Chains A and B, each alone.
Chain A
Amino acid sequence: MKSPNRIRIVTNNPLVKQILSDWYTVEYYEDATYRDILVKVRDMVYNGYELFTHPMAGSVKPNETMYKSIVVGTDQKGTDIDHCKLMMNALITCDKFKPTGVQYSDYHYKDFQLIDYTLLCGALDFDAIAGLSKANM
Chain B
Amino acid sequence: MKLELGFIKINDVQFSNECAVKDGILYVNPEEVKEYVYDYDDVKQFVKSISFDIAKPGESVRITPVKDVIEPRCKVEGPGVIFPGVMNHKVDTVGSGRTHVLKGAAVVTAGKIVGFQEGLIDMTGPGAQYTPFSKTLNIVMVCEPVEGTKQHDYERAVRFAGLRAAGFIGQIGKNVEPDEIKTYETLGIKEGIEKYPNLPRVGYVHMLQTQGLLHDTYVYGVDAKRIVATLINPTETMDGAILSGNCVSACDKNTTYHHLNNPVVAELFEEHGKTINYVCNIITNENVYLADKQRGSDWAAKLAKLLDLDAVIVSEEGFGNPDADLIMNCTKQEKQGIKTVLVTDEYAGQDGKSQGLADSDPLADAVVSGGNANMPVVLPPMDKIIGMTDYVDVCSGGHAGSLRPDGSIEAELQIITGATNEMGFNCMSAR
Enumerate chain A interface residues (CB-CB to B < 8 A). Answer: 2, 51-61, 64, 71, 85-86, 89-90, 92-93, 96-105, 107-108, 110-112, 114-115, 118-124, 128-129, 132
Contact = CB atoms under 8 A, between A and B. Distances in A.
B215 A111 contact: no
Given A92-B355, A93-B320, A122-B225, A59 B248 contact: yes
Given A54-B293, A101-B401, A59 B115 contact: no
Contacts, number: 145
Nearest to A60: B248
B133 to A, nearest CB: 19
21 contacts: A54-B290, A54-B293, A56-B320, A57-B321, A59-B209, A59-B215, A71-B289, A93-B358, A98-B350, A100-B393, A104-B394, A107-B115, A110-B115, A111-B115, A112-B115, A114-B114, A115-B212, A115-B248, A118-B213, A123-B288, A123-B289
B349 A96 contact: yes
A82 to B, nearest CB: 9
Given A100-B398, A114-B114, A56 B152 contact: no
B288 A119 contact: yes
A71 B321 CA distance: 14
B262 to A, nearest CB: 20
Nearest to A63: B399
A99 B321 CA distance: 21
A64 B212 contact: no
Residue among A58, A92, A119 with max Cβ neighbours from chain B (10 Å): A58
Nearest to A61: B396
Contacts of A102: 393-394, 398-400
Interface string B320-341: 1100100000000000000000
Interface string B385-426: 000000001101011110000000000001000000000000
A122 B209 CA distance: 12
Question: Could you tell me the dominant secondary structure of chain B's interface residues?
Answer: loop
Interface of B: 114-116, 150-152, 209-215, 225, 246, 248-249, 252-253, 287-293, 318-321, 324, 347-350, 354-355, 358-359, 374, 393-394, 396, 398-401, 414
Contact of B214 (A53, A101, A115, A121): A115
Contacts of A124: 289
A56 B358 contact: yes
Nearest to A95: B354
Contacts of B396: 59-61, 64
Nearest to B215: A58
A118 B271 CA distance: 41
A96 B398 contact: no
Given A53-B290, A114-B151, A119-B211, A100 B399 contact: yes
Contacts of A132: 150
Contacts of B319: 56, 59, 61
A96 B212 contact: no
A92 B358 CA distance: 8
B218 to A, nearest CB: 14
Contacts of A123: 211, 287-289, 292
